[in-house]
Amino acid sequence: MRKFVIALLSSACLSVGMLAAPASASPLYPTPDPDPFFAAPETIGTLAPGDVVRARRIDTLMYPGTTGWQVAFRSTNSVGNAIMGVTTVLLPNGVKNPPLVSYQALINSIGTQCNPSKSLFNGELQDAPGAMLPIGRGWAVSLPDYLGPNVAYGAAKMSGMVVLDSVKAVQRVAEIGVGSSPVALAGYSGGGMATAWAGALAPTYAPDLKLAAVVSGGIPADLELMADALGFAPHPGFGLAFAAAMGMEREYPERLPVSDQLNENGLWFREFTKDACRRFLLFHGVFRNADQMAASKELLTSQVARGVLRENSLVRDNRVPTAPTYIWQGKYDTLTPYGPVAEVVQRYCAAGAPVQMATVEIAEHMTAAAAGFVDAWNYVEGRFRGDPVPTNC
């Protein structure tokens, strides 16, 4: 989504620009969900990635014709520590052993109530109608809270691992009935970034997981390039930008001590927004900017900070997916640049990956999403049927 990308770019700049002094302020984490289902057990570290912690049936009256589950599972964060993830599964009624689509929705938030496990039912999920399209094709859909328990907005690599573990966990809940079903991953923009990372990580992080297809569009593939391009320029998405800075600090508290470089106004805004969702962030950020929040303006100078951006940039990663992969990207999209995505695809092709890229001759970010998703879902359907895998390498 357009706002997500603006936020991610700005957060990167804000983070890098706030590293002049030693860290002293701790990150501000979201208020934990009071539902005990979302609490990780003390033994989470003894489990393997993808192991089920607990599962429950949920009410899906808002989505007629479906049966719902939530599954808690063990996953991994960016530094290799055990974390607990949660995903929400909607099954089409009357379909036995349906194919499974893990759909990485647009989250763009830093509060626990903004994750799909909550936002599917409280009106916060931006792309709920699009997420339901697989149900209409007779497929099950799983929507993971891929930003992890700290809602680490912007942490791409961690998101990919959560996605993969969510699929493994859903397959292991016998009552859901998708243990032997074909699996596809799908998402756009921030969700596309999580999806693409999951596809690249799968051969090494989850080699036992068989993926029929990985489809992603509007991918922010080079966070460092995007941060350099934006700088400290004011923009209407500042509330989301600030939130993404806080999200990245939550995931990398030692390497990105953003809070330590906020001024008094910035620390107040951090407290004010620590549990906020997209609409609240946009509304309260529209007349604010980084100059008002930052105690330091030495931007883009820290190699430590740049290292974090590179670690979360698909163009900098040398892994190659082995699953059939479909990528679409707006050629003139100024929010998620086309060049780095094309470079990633070229590298995949050179390594012999089964990849197909669709170039959309459109500049507007969300218009490219609408233009590409029909072909993306058709690509998934072809893989579920077992059709030959197309490639345009």
The pLDDT tens digits of the residues spanning 256-288 come to 888 888 999 999 999 999 999 988 998 998 888
- Measured CA to CA in angstroms, residue 267 lies from 54, 154, 271, 289, 320 at distances of 37, 20, 6, 13, 41
Residue 27 has pLDDT above 80, yes or no: yes
- Asked if the model's pLDDT at residue 16 lies above 60, the reply is no
Judged against a pLDDT cut of 50, whether residue 29 lies above it is answered with yes
- 3-state SS, one letter per residue, for the chain: CHHHHHHHHHHHHHHHCCCCCCCCCCCCCCCCCCCHHHCCCCCHHHCCCCCEEEEEEECCCCCCCEEEEEEEEEEECCCCCEEEEEEEEEEECCCCCCCEEEEECCCCCCCHHHCHHHHHHHCCCCCHHHHCHHHHCCCEEEEECCCCCCCCCCCHHHHHHHHHHHHHHHHHCCCCCCCCCCEEEEEECHHHHHHHHHHHHHHHHCCCCCCCEEEEECCCCCHHHHHHHHCCCCCCCHHHHHHHHHHHHHHCCCCCCHHHHECHHHHHHHHHHCCCCHHHHHHHHCCCCHHHHECCCCCCCCHHHHHHHHHCCHHHCCCCCCCCEEEEEECCCCCCCHHHHHHHHHHHHHCCCCEEEEEECCCCHHHHHHHHHHHHHHHHHHHHHCCCCCCCC
Structure tokens at 292: 């008002």
Q: Which of 6-10, 27-31, 124-128 has the lowest mean pLDDT?
A: 6-10
Each residue's pLDDT tens digit, 371-381: 889 999 999 99
How far apart CA 373 and CA 49 sit, in angstroms, is 30
Q: Where are the domains of the chain?
A: 2-223+310-385
Report residue 244 as tokens: 């993404």
119 pLDDT tier (thresholds 50, 70, 90): very high
Instruction: List the Cα angle 340/184/58 in 5-degree steps.
Output: 120
Q: What backbone phi and psi angles, to 5 degrees, belong to 82?
A: -70, 135
Which CATH architecture best describes the domain 2-223+310-385?
3-Layer(aba) Sandwich (3.40)
**Between 171 and 334, whose confidence is greater?**
171
At 211 the pLDDT is: 98
> 324: which 2 tokens?
């059939």
Residue 22 pLDDT level (bands cut at 50, 70, 90): very low
